[in-house]
Amino acid sequence: MRKATDTILVTGATGRQGGAVARELLARKHRVSALTRKPESEAAQALAKLGAKVSRGDFDDAASLEQALEGVWGVFAMQNTWEAGVEREEAQGKRLAEIAKAGGVQHFVYSSVASAHRRTGIPHFDNKWRVEETVRGLGFPSHVIIRPVFFMENFLSPWFKPGIDQGKLMIAIQPTTVLQMIAVQDIGKYGLLAFEKHGDLNGREIDVAGDARTMSETARILSEAASRTIRFERVPIAEVRKASEDYGTMLEWFDRVGYNVDIPGNATEYGIRPTTLQEWARRAAWA
């Protein structure tokens, strides 16, 4: 890879994961093309100010992907289940990989999900495994698969933040369940590593996490960071299933099995110090 001339296309660049990867690459003076459906958006323009080229593209529009991928050396690929749905996300992931290979992309980094390879039975885990299989089968000169766990940033999302604002951390898992989680900035660091060490990491599938906490511990840490009391409240799983069978299946799997990332082992092997929940929470905006 030639840092000054080889372009890396980052998908999801105006979101959490892609944005974190794009910022890490730009900070290291890599040439970044940020793929977005809305080049005029505030997030896209912020990346442009950091030096990214903003490219218009849509996962469902093959022609736009072909255009965005023209002359690109590497790709960071991720799709969003909760936006696209399980079947459409899988189709999007496979389409991007296939067009990238046909277009001569040399290095492909796919962001999957931790434990995708463990036959979890969770729809939005299993579909990512099938995208992984496509990536492996296409025969890119090099590829890396990154598998992150539950995002710490989820606590700031509409799923959790309204309850937290009312002093309740509400989730349908048992009080004793230890949940591994990761700050998206750490995903950005692993994304950077996957490009800068593409030769050494070729073919690697890396499950990544930064901390592991029960929800009672999490509520205590968030309380300290937000300077107010937040208590864990277990939601009945039946209520979750009314809204999303997929999400309910994942939460039950957390209770029964759970992620199994070797957090200290990763830190030693890859040289990336994991961000703890306490560190992340202290920087988050709770007001």
Does 138 map to a domain?
yes
Asked if the model's pLDDT at residue 2 lies above 90, the reply is no
User: Is the model's pLDDT at 193 over the cut of 80?
Assistant: yes
The predicted pLDDT at position 36 comes to 93
**Average pLDDT of the residues in 261-281:** 98
Domain that holds residue 29: 7-149+183-209+260-274
The pLDDT, as a whole number, for residue 109 is 98
What is the count of structural domains for the chain? Answer: 1
Does the pLDDT value for residue 151 go beyond 70? Answer: yes
Helix or strand run (H / E) with residue 251: helix 245-256
Q: 213: which 2 tokens?
A: 């906490």
Q: What percent of the chain has pLDDT over 70?
A: 99
- What are 26-81's pLDDT values in tens digits? 999 999 999 999 888 999 999 999 999 999 999 999 999 999 999 999 999 999 98
Q: At what angle do helices 184-196 and 16-27 cross, to 10 degrees?
A: 50
Give the Cβ contact number of residue 104 at 10 Å. Answer: 12
* Domain presence at residue 172: no
Structure tokens at 215: 């929800």
Summarize pLDDT for 88-103 with one digit per residue, the tens: 999 999 999 999 999 9
Residue 27 lies in a domain: yes
Residue 52 lies in a domain: yes
Residue 4 has pLDDT above 70, yes or no: no
**Using 50, 70 and 90 to split pLDDT, how confident is the model at 106?**
very high
Q: Does residue 246 lie within any of the structural domains? A: no
224 located within any domain: no
Contact 13, 79 (CB under 8 A): no
113 belongs to a structural domain:
yes
For residues 190-207, b (16+ Cβ closer than 10 Å) or e, as one string? Answer: bbbbbbbebeebeeebbb
* Average pLDDT value for residue range 82-89: 90
Q: Single out the residue of 225, 212, 202 nearest to residue 278, CA to CA.
A: 225
Is 264 within a domain? yes
Whether 166 has a pLDDT exceeding 70, the answer reads: yes
Task: Output the pLDDT for position 145.
Answer: 98
Which of 3 and 203 is assigned the larger pLDDT?
Answer: 203
**Predicted pLDDT at 40:** 87
CATH code of the domain in which 120 resides: 3.40.50.720
Which of 36-40, 99-103, 118-122, 237-241 is predicted least confidently?
36-40
DSSP string, 92-112: HHHHHHHHHHHTT-SEEEEE-
**Model-level pTM?**
0.96
From CA 68, how far away is CA 58, in angstroms rounded?
10
pLDDT given for residue 168 in this prediction: 98
pLDDT at 216 over 90: yes
Give me the pLDDT at residue 183, please: 98
